[in-house]
Each structure stands twice: as structure tokens, then as C-alpha cells.
Amino acid sequence: MVTERVKIMVTAGVCAAVAAVLFVLDPTRVGIFPPCLLHEYTGWWCPGCGSTRALHQLLHGQLATAFRLNPLAVSLLPLIGYWVVRRGRVPMKPVWIWTLLVVIVCFGILRNVPVYPLTLLAP
């Protein structure tokens, strides 16, 4: 049986390894990161488009550039971090899950509207 401590260490190791790869490899120059299939086939930006590039910029201390690439992903990082630190013990009430889903869907729709200032949401 795997102990809680081992799970934490493995999770931290995986996160550190992913962060190290993202720090070293620029997603705009290296083709190992998968493209967004929605954008590739439809031309529409999904809510996650630009997240990999945003995380790369964030790891290099470029908060403004990261926020420009995907403001939703950068804004949600503190919440995700809090939830990870609490190891999922924070109860996720259905109203928060539905609110998050609505925010993600609305962000995905708004970033595809070809009207200024909504065009700024595209990565």
C-alpha cells in the first residue's frame, strides 16, 4: 500500500519535472508539445489555448506575457495551487464546480468573438 507521503513526493516530483521541461523548452520553438485539436481543425481558440506558452512565460517571470496568452489559466493557478496543497481535502461544492464550468465556457466563447476588446483574449 502506498503511503500518503509517497504520493505527495511522487506528485511533487512529477510537477517539478514538468516545470523543468517547460522552463527549458520554449513551446513556440519546440514541436514536442501537442497542438490544440479544436484550433487545428476549426480555427477557434479553446479555453486552454495558450496555456502551455503562458506557463513557460510564467516560469521565466513574465507575468504580463503569460496573462496575455491565457488570462484564465494564469488567474486560476492560485486556486489550483491551493487545492493541490490541501491535497483535495477542500470540499468542492457543486455550485463552485458549475460556476467554474460556466466561466470556462464563457471564456472559450468570448475569446472567439472577433470584436475589440474581446480579440485581446485570443493567445
Of 21, 45, 44, nearest to 32 by C-alpha is 21
Residue partners of 34: CB distance under 8 A and separation at least 6: none
Domain boundaries, the chain: 4-121
Residue 25 pLDDT: 93
Per-residue pLDDT tens over the stretch 1-37? 677 778 878 888 998 999 999 999 999 898 888 888 9
Distance of alpha carbon 15 from alpha carbon 6, whole angstroms: 14
Cβ neighbours, 10 Å, residue 30:
11
Long-range Cβ contact pairs of 98-103 (< 8 A, separation 24 or more): 103/72
Average pLDDT over residues 33-59: 93
Express each pLDDT in 62-97 by its tens digit: 999 999 999 999 999 998 888 777 766 667 788 988
At residue 1, the pLDDT reads 62
Task: Give the torsion sign (CA, 97, 80, 76, 57).
Answer: negative
C-alpha cell at 108: 472559450
